[in-house]
A and B are shown apart, each in its own frame.
Chain A
Amino acid sequence: MDLTYTVLIPLIPLFMFLFLGLNYKRIKEPLSGYIGTAGLLITALLSFYTAYQYFFNYGKVDEVYQKIYAFNTVWIHFTESLHIDMGVLLDPISAVMLIVVPLISLMVHLYSIGYMHKEPGFTRFYAYLSLFTFSMLGLVLATNLFQIYIFWELVGVSSYLLIGYYYEKPSAILAAKKAFIVTRFADFGFLVGILMISYYAQTFDFKILNDLDFINNLKMQTGIFMGLSVITVALVLIFIGGAGKSAMFPLHIWLPDAMEGPTPVSALIHAATMVVAGVYLVARLFPMFYFFDDGFALHVVAWTGAFTTFFAAIIAFTQYDIKRVLAFSTMSQIGYMMLALGVSGYGGHEGLGFMAGIFHLFTHAMFKALLFLGAGAIIHAVHSNYMQDMGGLRKYMPITHITFLIAALAISGIPPFAGFFSKDEILAAAFEHNFPVFVIGYIVAGMTAFYMFRLYFRIFWWNEPDYKHKPHEAPKAMTIPLLILAFMSIFSGFIPFDEFVSPDNKPFHSHIDWTLAGLSIGIGVLGILAALLFYKKEKDLSQRFRYAFGDFYKWTFNKFYIDDIYFFVTKTIIFKYVSSPFAWFDRHVVDGTMNGIGNGTVWISTKIKKLQSGRVQDYAMFFVSGVLILILIVWFSINY
């Protein structure tokens, strides 16, 4: 079967980017929105078709899902085995991403026609969105580590451009810079990890890197570094890259600030797609993570995930900016996915955690995008990000209200909404393999329900503030995506993921353990009830709790001062004691030399100017003497 057409999936958004980017002056709102959305619709349909065909038609051979190179070309050639390819890889996880990325991106494209209405740079916005979609698709379809790295950086660039979209706002610029620098810093680890792996394995190729025989051979050959296999060290470094993109503690500090970007961007990049790239990366290299040093690197993943999920959930309790609450919730949920991958085993039912992680990635993309887009609709209506300016909105925005409620129920793990199924599988996997991690996950499930419904009640119930103009429901372009995503948030939990995704690509059977499920529903309901008690009507109960917790509240509100610690380290220590001496050296010694060279160059060029006299006689003279001198030099320089 010829699958070359799959190249079009990333190429259409690239074309859209070039087309809109080059014609940004000519194509005006709303035409550029229509063009961008139409282009993405084609990509989405192609992707869905490809994913469908893969799962139900040609993907499974002898009950095992194959890794298929739909397209592959050698880009740069180093040695026989080591070369950089560009291609399209189809396997269960990339096929899942082929549903998530284009679907969410399409929703965001559609939604933005309404949300970005009358914003300056409307076309630029759509060009950036297309660039991002292209990069993200290139990332998930990558056939090798190097390709994934290239697109990883491209995704970072488009994220930078979109966070800094309101480039006249200083805070947006700062946030964009922060996101770029922090993730770049993490990517350095990624790059070193890639180079280490390529050195020992002599390949970038995912098909080979995930082959069990190959991994066993590699285990024999590689050296030991500080008691660990070198490959394990490389994997941890790669995970640092993943942790940077996925905002894992302590590299999470950029994500809350990234909310300075337009809300649809937050929904697409900072909730559903780019931030799960780290999860995807770990899943991509899962066999390596699992088999080297008895899964040491995988334990790092599990504990980083567990810590982040708890840490972020606490902070989410105290934030007032609704987008920041959602940002911390995203961090927490990605921690959940990491945790799931971290507790997974390999083969058959052991691979439950892996499956659950990808499952949660899928359902989370749906309901978190829905939450963000809903938040966008609310911000659009009340022109503020802060809870204090909201309340009682259920009367004014019925569609937003219902869809937001569905998403909140889904994230809180209430059946039959999507989040229940994926979260339950994660807890089941953790229960079997790592009990302390299970306990953390279980507590966080309750916390999630609480802060999510705190948000919900504060926005839609509580007391109405004095609205200057009455809030109104969002336009159709915005509500239709909300409804589609709400539909997905209700029903996507019923997809039997164990049929499709597993670490060894063989389908297996999982079932819901109702004791465990009952427990997790219980804590979810408890969280919701607590939120109901605190926030349905305006009362001072929450204030009293705030005073009771005193300093702890303050610490939490200030996000445990992690930003300030970074600031202290960079500003006071690095800049003052490391950079300043270097800067002095650079200014005085290096620049001095360079300026000297520069001035010298100019001086010489004035001096020799007269050679070019404009007279042909002179030129002929130079010509002939040139020939003669050359002959003489050559004659005398060789002795016979």
Chain B
Amino acid sequence: MDLNSLMLMRHELILTLLILILLVVDIVFTGENKKKVSYIAVGLFAVYTVIGFLPLKEGTLFGGMFETNRMIFTFKNILNIGVLLISLLSINWLNNKSLKHQKIGEFFILLFSSLLGMFFLISSRNFLMLYLSLELSTLPVTALAAYDIYSRKSSEAGIKLILSAALSSGIFLFGISFIYAAGGSLYFHDLVGNIGHSYLSIAGLVMFFAGFAFKISLVPFHFWTADVYEGAPTPVSNYLSVISKSAAVFILMITLFVTFRELIDIWVPMLYGISILTMFIGNFFALRQQNLKRFLAFSSVAQAGFVMMGMLAADKLAVATVIYFMAIYIFSNIGAFGVVQIVSIFSGKENIDDYNGFYRTNPNLALVLMLSLFSLAGIPPIAGFFGKFFLYTSAASKGYYLLVFIAVVNVTISLYYYLLVVRAAFLRRSDNPIPYFKNDVLTRIGLIIVVVSLFLIGLYSPLYDYINSVVNVLNI
């Protein structure tokens, strides 16, 4: 293995280097200078994000355990942009004096470590590798969830997340052992066509699926979601809801479509049922939430149900559609969570009623919130509409009209609760609204990128064409 082939894992190598640099930087800066750590971290990450877009060779490494190609590369870049936005929006919170301790370095180190795990997860072509990277991506997040150690809720979130994650990992590993027993290998390419329909392989598939369903928060593996999102610091919830979820959706889709293609008659009906269940349960719970973070947690559960619908077609178009949808979803959710987070830091308010009269005091933030929620609800001409539209098209192309109809019903329900928030912010008046406050430049840049993207991704069609072209690397 020479340096040239090592460059196939350019993303991972640079990210590792970045984490190492941060470890040193964190020691160098102390006291008042501690704030600089966050600027350095975000600055370095921004540079790295740009480098990530440089062209990359395709190929495999480590005896076929690690693979990279145009599609994976594109998805990693999407995740990078997402993490960059989350970091931009976090700086203000991290530098906030009211936080009793300032472990700024740790925050970024843990965040980037988890992202590193995601990248290995996306690239892995072996179940053992898959498991290890899944752990690498989960453990730092559990620490992050408990980041605000003086807050009881945050600690509770951390404990709940790690207990649930441990359980799911156990079942996941158990499932892998079944698959190994059935197929005789841990490499994806060896398993293609060798798994066979047996009780063993099917049980393995379901357990494997449950492990990812936990990460994606599909019903009935979603229970941790609301509690953790509510308790964890908002940037962490944001990360969990977009980055962690997208990476899991991506790798689940690839393994199901390629490795488990034999068992397509099993997992398609399974996804069908879970998709319906997830949409309904997510929506029903979201309907009643007062706390915005819980509200967004359930809305993200419901969104996951829609994604599963898009995956049913099990062809290249479905892959492109899901990647496109996840990209849009990342921006929409970061926008919504971002505003909630900014408001929560400033005023400590997180309930929908607290947002009464929000537009009058903070028109710009209210607009960002509205656009993000509209995008989540799928209202044209914002990107979310196009994402949902392609999901329907994908499902309808294989004749799942009933499911499309159910999805439309669910979109209607979701529209209701998204509008509840918009109504509070724009139409309701309040005697005691959240007062006007100014945001720092980085936060504003982050939000502006979100808003521009919300329009651009939907209306600028070459993006979709590009995603459509990169999925050609798949062999299905």
Binding site for B on A (CB under 8 A): 74-77, 598, 601-602, 604-606, 608-609, 611-612, 614, 616, 618-620, 622-627, 630-631, 634-635, 637-638, 640
Contact = CB atoms under 8 A, between A and B. Distances in A.
Contacts of B164: 616, 619-620, 623
A623 B210 contact: yes
Contact of A612 (B171, B226, B270): B226
3 closest Cβ pairs, A-B complex? A626-B220, A619-B223, A605-B284
Contact of B168 (A598, A614, A623, A634): A623
Nearest to B265: A638
Contact of B221 (A611, A623, A640): A623
Contacts, number: 84
A75 B461 CA distance: 6
B413 interface: yes
Contacts of A623: 164, 167-168, 171, 210, 214, 220-221, 223
Q: In this complex, which of B203, B214, B226, B265 has the most chain A Cβ atoms within 10 angstroms of its Cβ?
A: B203
Given A623-B168, A635-B199, A630 B206 contact: yes
Interface string B386-414: 00000000000000000000000000010
B202 interface: yes
Interface string B162-180: 0110011001000000000
Interface string B131-174: 00000000000000000000000000001100110011001000
Given A619-B223, A634-B266, A601 B210 contact: no
Given A616-B159, A623-B168, A602 B210 contact: no
A637 B269 contact: yes
Interface string B319-335: 00000000000000000
A76 B164 CA distance: 45
B389 to A, nearest CB: 12
Q: Is the interface of B mostly helix, strand, loop or mixed?
A: helix
Contacts of A606: 288
Given A612-B223, A616-B163, A619-B224, A605 B287 contact: yes
B192 to A, nearest CB: 21
Contacts of B416: 598
Given A630-B206, A631-B203, A637-B269, A601 B284 contact: yes
Interface of B: 159-160, 163-164, 167-168, 171, 197, 199, 202-203, 206-207, 209-210, 214, 220-221, 223-224, 226-227, 265-266, 269-270, 281, 283-285, 287-288, 413, 416, 461, 465
Contacts of A634: 202, 206, 266, 270
Contacts of B207: 627, 631
Nearest to A622: B220
A638 B197 contact: yes
Contacts of B269: 637
Contacts of A618: 223
A602 B207 CA distance: 33
Nearest to B363: A25
A432 B224 CA distance: 84
Residue picked from A77, A606, A620, most chain B C-beta under 10 Å:
A620
Contacts of B266: 634, 638
A77 B227 contact: no
Given A75-B461, A630-B210, A620 B163 contact: yes
A163 to B, nearest CB: 24
A10 to B, nearest CB: 16
Nearest to A630: B206
A76 B464 CA distance: 11
A638 B265 CA distance: 9
A609 B167 contact: no
Nearest to A604: B284
Task: Count chain B CB atoms within 10 A of each CB in A616, A620, A624, A627 and give the residue with the most.
Answer: A627
Contacts of B227: 614
Contacts of A611: 223
A625 B285 CA distance: 21
A638 B220 CA distance: 22
Contacts of A609: 285, 288
Given A598-B416, A623-B167, A623-B220, A631 B206 contact: yes
A64 to B, nearest CB: 34
A640 B265 CA distance: 14
Nearest to B214: A623
A638 B269 CA distance: 11
Nearest to A625: B220
B285 A612 contact: yes
Given A630-B210, A631-B203, A640-B197, A608 B281 contact: yes
Contacts of A77: 461, 465
Contact of B461 (A76, A619, A626, A635): A76
A77 B461 CA distance: 9
A620 B171 CA distance: 11
Contacts of B223: 611-612, 618-619, 622-623
B220 A635 contact: no
A608 B284 contact: yes
A306 B101 CA distance: 82
Contacts of B199: 635
Contacts of B163: 616, 620
B282 to A, nearest CB: 11
A622 B281 CA distance: 14
Contacts of A640: 197
B100 to A, nearest CB: 26
